[in-house]
Amino acid sequence: MYFLISISYDGSKFYGFQRLKKHFTVQQRIEEALTLINKKEVTIKGAGRTDRGVHAYDQKASFKLDINIDENHLKLALNSLVKPYIYVTNVKIVDASFHARFNTIKKEYIYKINLGKYNPLYTDYYYTPEYSLDIDKMKDCAKIFVGIHNFENFVAGTRNNYECIIYDIKFKKHKDILEIKFIGKSFYRYMVRNLVGAMMDVGRGKNTIDEIKYALDNPNISKTFSTALPNGLYLNKIYYK
210 is annotated as an active-site residue: no
The catalytic residue among 10, 51, 124, 176 is 51
DSSP track, the chain: -EEEEEEEE-GGGSS-SS--SSS--HHHHHHHHHHHHHTS----EES----TT-EEEEEEEEEE-SS---HHHHHHHHHHHHTTTEEEEEEEE--TT--TTTTEEEEEEEEEEE-SS--GGGTTT-B--SS---HHHHHHHHHTTSEEEE-GGGSSS--S--EEEEEEEEEEEETTEEEEEEEES---TTHHHHHHHHHHHHHTTSS-HHHHHHHHH-GGG--------GGGEEEEEEEE-
The CA distance from 43 to 86, in Å, is 17
Residues identified as active-site: 51
